Structure 1
């Protein structure tokens, strides 16, 4: 029997969960077709999901069709919960992208396509709601081909001559063989899909089961079961807690097998292996390659973690851009912090922090819907009633030129000196670390301590103290002492080297403040275009005016604008369009801050007073250590860079 793990992804309201319900119903997993609006869908068992009518958490279900076994992972559709969707994608064999026949490609559809491309997930497309008035499936196909890929091709059984010819055009070798033989084998088509050279499109109406059987037949025919290794490999893709508070580590086995009571990670055994189907589960003693299960026992696992011989995978494409302080409203801060830590365990992007100085709890989120959901979860699950402040934008900092930063730490009976090359990285690359230091200069053990220190610390910029990003940091030189150096010395010297280099760059005007920007799509009437463009210009945005081919009385404006300026613009649009306008917002990443001077002045950050991130060094003379200001460190360094 062919075994496939597939995820269903979509923009909110495209019918993603409805399609999942239809697939389960036709396979006999459930006896009646669940509906999101009725609150009885098989894959939205959480109370909050039933109340809000949206998928908030990813869920697992299994279904059999003759000789085809499908493990289905349903994912959240709302962009505020895209982080959970990103966690699931790396463990999928295939994705099913659902697009509405009436709405076409939406903001988060584009985000999902970018994620599917990043994680190289072979993708089938299902155009849903073809029965609804105003549905334009043929137009959606054209939209998919123009925006995503010309290889988004309509499939039907049997394949038409036009489709076969279009398939041949996606690969030079396949085209050559096709021109010679006039045929393309099923195996070749399967491989092209698996290599993301073809994206099959099916269409129908999931709610009425229209053409669902055609899609199941096509999906069963054109997918390929992965060939997996014999040694144990796996990946964690989700952390959750059951209704009794038991912590669950969800994994996909990518090779070999795993048994209950074995160590999942060092010093943490698996107590119980659960295979879920909706809200219910079966306890098994062993899981094999290709299977998915939830494990009780481990307490330090995290999404993206590699198991066995699999490396950890950073899940950093989706990043929150807003920070909120919690208004405790009389709640015990310790109780609230513990509850939020548990939610953070499931959603690491929350980055819950306790400010001792302000006596406040802060957390990071994607948007207003996630904020409301957190409030409801705390109320329903923990009996905690809180609110939030107005929120702040999460800024970041980067550099625009390279520099060698030097850190020296030499109090009495301690010694370490570290030289780091700081270089600008590509936008969106985050922080990367490299080592080009010879072991003849600095022994291997000390080098490892430097590299570990670089990876473990959250490095902050010197303009506002915001997190540093898009920088490559390379260890190039250093010195230790066989007699006096210990691990902590290199941790201190490493941090000081980064900060010293940043201070040099700030002095030369080569530090830059970044802010998050939205990519927007605004639909208004032709009469309101002037007002909209004026608003966008006032918000420091860029724009492009497009014709709305589906409606001559409306116009579509696309572009980018700072999150600070546009985050509350949706309510403005509703007001001046009397509810007829539509604004789609998708975080497009970080760009240069449009009002950097104002933000920096308001932050009033003094980098030399930040003792946890000092740029100054410590040298030793006459048997005593003494501080040396950052700008004097290069002239006093003990080793010289070539």
Structure 2
């Protein structure tokens, strides 16, 4: 009987893997990436984060700060397969980089700390991968740390992320004595000597043989419970062959019904080869993923080099040699010099060069085919989220989502002669990072830069100084407030009538405004129409909705902040035979909603964050008192490895400068992470 694995192996794209490395900050993502590049022969020296010698953290700020800021793409080969790998940031401020990467990936490796288990940002990136339907395998890193425990880490994965973890390895030794793993699928031991570069394969040691057999049995039962073909063999033979187990694990990974779990120590180069084997064996190729679907007409494009060309731009960077646009090619073939259709901007673009990316180095190639991740030179209008396709078969793909910025700073050039240069540099920053927003404050005339957090804005300001050579000053960070409806109004009538010679404008709308049902902290906007009898034609209804969105962006009557968390219903209206138009109804929607909002009871919302503080147990009292002074609502506390872990919901405005305060109250022993969770009444 031909299995799904057999059918998969015959596909021309079966030897390609597009995957990302996901994790909480400091879980070891970049070290795992560096060891993968070393193990595959792509690099000839092990890069270290603390030495600033990594391949993927090549930006000066990344090396100075010791964290990943920008998603970096690299390619390598393993066991006859080409692996396109994206190392993503772990800090919450750069979650949009992860979002754009996940949009174009086929699989991912989620890295967890063997001591801390699931941490706040690892939970966030897991949920992001869930939204995009990206299959994952898990790698429990830092098994050589004091307090490392595979079972505890797996238990936290099961409890907080709710997958079905399928543990395929048993660690040999613990903490400093961690020397290797038992491969439970093939029942063999893999050990690494100190300083050794490759694993030594041997029989399972007698000291752990019984435990290995018990865990292999548990793995077989868990797989048979979820996979029909494995269940059939398990019932017949009361065991599973390595081939059946591998094929079943692959099916469960691709379908999302299970998550294969491996372990190791990337820093000590232990467990990387089995991880690469698992990437090849279990994660999907482009051929295993469903065809991409257009957002407008629902047409599909299969992962086939002979299909009409279809690609999505997910990242844009400016380099000394020109503008690079990173593409995921979903279908068809792209050749150097081709002219393609920008379906988003509705214009043609010519591809000058195609580059295979190795972080900050590039290798020119003649063509890119379905399943490839490449960078191209020569595109003028493409942005992150742009669809590129063949002109005679247009399609528009869903772009990556962009989160709303929550923190803002005023930015100005120190020399008035640099004002124009600053404007151009800010425009380039926003082009490269769509999660940044630049606007001019209507009251003060200041240029305001908004982003996802304090660190995000610090990095952007430093880039203006370093990359663009600008001397700038920045104001104190301020959070971005929102306004919402606490109590709505019904039957607000607005007539837009304008007659000043020539064609006039006429639009009559009746609006109801109400809060969304998810409470005062809810965000979003819902528009509905209950107009009957064609009193307002459908194209005018859409214009009214566009006008309402314009009004929300302009700001509410409470304090001029954007309005969110409400539903607007168009209940009635009328038209004029000659003077009604989409423009007239858009204006009526905008002005009508502004008038309706003045009659509503409004609430001011402020962004809040979930904060996880890890401190010595003797400092818990001081930390709780400080959190209370910051208007925090403590939601839980726990003890892990002799340290206290406190979780709380805190207004984002109260977290400015918290890192310094926490270090002072805990003699430098306390750490914290924060991730925005939405808005709450201020």
TM-score, with structure 2 as normaliser: 0.80
Give the structure 1 partner of residue 133 of structure 2.
Answer: 120
* SS class of match (2:118): coil
**Deviation (angstroms), 1:336:** 1.0
> For 1:43 and 1:86, how far apart are their aligned partners in 2?
18
Alignment-derived partner of residue 540 in structure 1:
631
Shift of 1:453: 3.9
Shift of 1:254: 2.1
2:261 corresponds in structure 1 to 201
Match of 2:375 among 282, 290, 294: 294
* Paired position in structure 2 for 1:450: 544
Q: 1:313 to 1:478 in 2, by over 3 A?
A: farther
- Which of 383, 408, 419 aligns to 2:495? It is 408
Compute the displacement of 1:476 (Å).
4.2
Cα distance change, pair 495–453 in 1 and its aligned pair in 2 (3 A) = closer
Deviation at 1:527, TM superposition (A): 3.5
Relative to structure 2, which stretch is displaced further, 442-451 or 204-213?
442-451
Q: Which residue of 2 aligns with 1:167?
A: 223
Q: Is the 8 A contact 1:264 1:298 kept in 2?
A: no
- CA change 1:150–1:432 in 2 (3 A) is same
Change (3 A) 1:285 1:220: same
CA distance in 1, matches of 2:279, 2:404: 32
Q: Which SS does the other structure have where 1:548 is aligned?
A: strand
Contact kept, 8 Å, 2:22 with 2:87, in 1: the verdict is: yes
Other-structure match for 2:413: 328
1:339 aligns with 2:352: no
Alpha-carbon shift at residue 454 of structure 1 (Å)? 4.5
2:11 is matched with: none
The secondary structure found in structure 1 opposite 2:26 is coil
TM superposition shift of 1:558: 1.4
In the alignment, the residues of structure 2 paired with residue 170 and residue 137 of structure 1 have an alpha-carbon distance, to the nearest angstrom, of 23
Where 1:336 maps in the other structure, the secondary structure is: helix
Change in Cα spacing, 1:546 to 1:398, as seen in structure 2 (3 Å) is same
Shift of 1:357: 4.3
Report what 1:351 is aligned to.
437
Indicate if the aligned counterparts of 1:240 and 1:247 stay in contact, CA closer than 8 A: yes
Alignment match of 1:315 (pick from 396, 401, 406): 401
Give deviations 1:396-423, integer Å, cap 9, x for gaps.
1222455445432111121112334434
Deviation track 1:170-220 (CA, whole Å, cap 9, x = no partner) reads 57x679657744556544332221222212211112223211111111121
C-alpha spacing 1:96/1:310, structure 2 compared with 1 (3 Å) = farther
CA distance in 1 between partners of 2:568 and 2:381 (Å): 28
Deviation at 1:344, TM superposition (A): 0.8
User: Is 1:568 paired with 2:654?
Assistant: no
Q: Where does 1:414-563 land on structure 2 (aligned, <5 Å)?
A: 414-425=505-516, 426=518, 430-437=524-531, 440-454=534-548, 458-506=553-601, 511-551=602-642, 554-563=643-652
When residues 45 and 225 of structure 1 are mapped into structure 2, their CA distance, relative to the original with a 3 A threshold, is same
1:247 aligns with: 323
Q: Are residues 523 and 284 of structure 1, via their aligned partners in 2, closer, same or farther at CA, if it must alter by over 3 Å?
A: closer
Is structure 2 residue 375 aligned with structure 1 residue 281?
no
Q: Which residue of 2 aligns with 1:606?
A: none
Partner residue, 2:677: 588
Q: Distance in 2 between matches of 1:550 and 1:178?
A: 42
SS of the residue corresponding to residue 91 of structure 1 reads: coil
Preserved contact between residue 314 and residue 400 of structure 2 (Cα < 8 Å): no
Tell me how far apart the structure 2 counterparts of residues 122 and 524 of structure 1 sit (CA, whole Å).
34
- Which deviates further from its counterpart, 335-344 or 355-364? 355-364
What is the deviation of 1:126?
A: 1.3
Counterparts of 1:549 and 1:283 in 2: how far apart (Å)?
49
Instruction: Flag the 1:53–1:536 CA change in 2: closer, same or farther, 3 A.
Output: closer
Q: Given the superposition, is the C-alpha separation of residues 472 and 254 from structure 1 closer, same or farther in structure 2, using an over 3 Å criterion?
A: farther
Q: Kindly indicate whether the alpha-carbon contact (under 8 Å) linking 1:270 and 1:295 is maintained by their aligned counterparts in 2.
A: no
Aligned pairs for 1:231-246 (under 5 A) are 231-244=308-321, 246=322
SS of the aligned residue for 2:460 comes to: helix
SS in 2 for 1:352: strand
Question: What's the Cα RMSD here?
Answer: 2.6
The question of whether the paired residues in 2 share the 8 Å contact of 1:375 and 1:385 is answered with no
CA apart distance, 1:20: 0.9
Work out the CA distance in 2 between the residues paired with 1:518 and 1:140.
25
Q: Secondary structure at the match of 2:376?
A: strand
Match of 2:178 in 1: none
1:270 positional shift: 3.2
8 Å Cα contact 2:230-2:248 kept in structure 1 = no
Deviations along 1:369-393, one digit per CA (max 9) or x if unpaired, are 2233223211221110112111211
Q: Distance in 2 between matches of 1:473 and 1:253?
A: 40
Pair 1:178–1:399, CA change in 2 (3 A) = farther
Which of 393, 396, 411 aligns to 2:482? It is: 396
In structure 1, C-alpha distance between the alignment counterparts of 2:34 and 2:94, rounded to whole Å: 20
C-alpha change, 1:428 and 1:343, in structure 2 (3 Å) is farther
Taking a change above 3 Å as real, the CA distance of residues 298 and 462 of structure 1, as seen in their structure-2 partners, is: farther
TM-score by length of 1: 0.84
Q: Is the 1:545–1:555 Cα contact (8 Å) retained in structure 2?
A: no
Residue 264 (structure 1) aligned with residue 342 (structure 2): yes
Contact conserved, 1:418 with 1:479, CA < 8 A, in 2? yes
2:466 to 351, 355, 380: 380
CA contact (8 A) 2:535 2:575 kept: no
Compared with structure 1, are the counterparts of its residues 467 and 262 closer, same or farther at alpha carbon in structure 2 (3 Å cutoff)?
same
Distance 1:531 1:212, change over 3 A: same
**Aligned position for 2:251:** 191
Residues of 2 paired with 1:214 and 1:164: CA distance?
19
Q: Please state how far the C-alpha of 1:150 moved relative to its aligned partner.
A: 4.9
Query: Aligned equivalents of 1:178 and 1:499: distance in 2?
Result: 67
Q: Is the 8 A contact 1:268 1:298 kept in 2?
A: no
CA deviations 1:454-511 (Å, max 9, x no partner) are 45662523322211223334444333323112333122111112222222222xxxx2
Structure 2: unaligned runs, 5 residues or longer: 1-13, 170-182, 186-215, 292-301, 389-393
What is the distance in 2 between the residues matched to 1:18 and 1:322?
31
5+ residue gaps in structure 1? 594-642
Return 428-437 or 44-53, whichever deviates more: 428-437
Q: Deviations over 1:288-320 (max 9, x none)?
A: 22111223344443323444524333513x443
- Provide the C-alpha distance between the structure 2 equivalents of 1:44 and 1:197, rounded to a whole number of angstroms: 33
Write the deviation string for residues 493-541 of structure 1: whole angstroms up to 9, x where unpaired: 11112222222222xxxx2221111111223343433333333333322
Q: 1:591-640 CA distances to partner (integer Å, 9 max, x unpaired)? A: 222xxxxxxxxxxxxxxxxxxxxxxxxxxxxxxxxxxxxxxxxxxxxxxx
Give a deviation string over 1:551-599, Cα, whole Å, max 9, x none. Answer: 1xx4322121211223333322211211122222221221222xxxxxx
1:174 & 1:533 partners in 2: Cα distance? Answer: 53
